[in-house]
Structure 1
């Protein structure tokens, strides 16, 4: 009798130990995931049971009930929708933890300083796993969807944005627009004195010009200083990037003297003051420079061919610099943007 009871106890211990070993092995054993990993989408409204049983049907998970029981005991049953990458070698516990944390795959898109709104929009819509919308199909419809009246140029902030699969083009545009509003407001609050701007939008216009004219970062505030002094003196800005922007698709990479005489709302060789809108996406540094122009007396500058500029106080000095740097160009001459004439 006693021997029989002892035998049953020993059998129970062995059976329980075997069960624990089996459960533990089932949870820590690698899932059937290919060497390049497994990409999976969890839809909004889905739950862990549905996901695990789907993976079991595909042969990825071998013991779905054990996995769900583990998640219930550990209180890891809540999951997040999105796209997941399950690396090779992951086990069931890794899977449950990843779904519970919402460790979804994230993508990034970079909008570059000096780009136009159209260039940024095209980049966003061409990015991986972005959901393109009808409203984001054109600059005009995107602006309307964002609640921006008129030309939205310059109204989104150039930066690197992180997003999830299924994010729409408008979602990213809205984030970039809100970021620009925040940065502009912050910089406007810290602006210098005696500036020729009536509003933060005026500063944004100037910042876009500074962004396009700047070849080397340390010249931003000096270039801004030239333009601010020209405005103060009632001089035309005479800046080539505004002419190029106004030409639109007609610009073929070369700016001719005839183009400088062609009247458009953006041709600062013809109009007084600043153009009606920004001409590009300015970064924070360009905005800061526009609001903190470098003091001085220079009223002109010309590209030297190495990305930097020569600054002059008088027209005669400027013309001399033009002859030196523009009319006798080196073979490795470069300037931004493109091939341009004197300012």
Structure 2
């Protein structure tokens, strides 16, 4: 069955609340800051927001429902998207359908997390039952160990080297030097990358995201409402999401994008060579490689050679993670799943400032999240176009 397109939907008002390494404020505070800035930017009052989509790991014990009372909101459409790095694409996809159906006029999509001194450890201890049962009892905890396994398998399978992963990290740091919101802006060379201390072999220091606090948000509405408010906006060409793809793979080497790729490009009516920039979820560079392959920019197992053949900086021939990605901006919990999407909207509405990709008309944003003990379960992708 052919899915209906997203005609008439506008994505606008990209918001980033400056990140901090640690914060004494709650996730509620960060979400409130983002929504306050979003309504101000859009020229709306809080009561105009009749839709709300929330992603956060540190909002507990509240969910999106409890948050409405904290913030004095009364939406008629509400969504809670606890999907980590896939959250941005999933939130946009669902909000777009709500707007098309008339279930909401203005949907605020927001992702945020705080980072107290002990927040990350506490998040990991309750992250998933799989991890609690199958990993932690053996003294291995957190995503570093899981991604070390995935990375080593990918290297053995494809011939990828640490230098290949380093090219991604170095390019993203160069991009981050143009983005004021990045927490890590010191020059990173390939020698710096290769010489960094090991964390969980073959993963070294600069392969790992740094947990921090922050918030990202955007607004989904009808295009005529965006015009009436004078808001620059982008169009949605296609979206996909997939969960628990390829469960029989002993070790993950592909994601859900590979299942739905043909539908994704077919719905948009374009091919990968039409894309002017790519924003991938980048908690570790191996996942960037998988997305490049599974989205169709090269053949499977071909990402190492692809990375060697292209310049990934914002002014290169394959602009990628133009704000620096999580590897240089930081990972604000679930906010990391929105980082690339918010940056893409900025790129296509001429509000990206120093990170601008000249003449960009189409951008792709992909997400990946919810690592259990051996794989990430959630994937999403969104293709956006200049209005």
| TM-score interval, smaller chain | under 0.3
Q: Which has the higher helix share?
A: 1
Structure 1 or 2: more strand by fraction? 2
Q: TM-score, normalised by structure 1?
A: 0.26
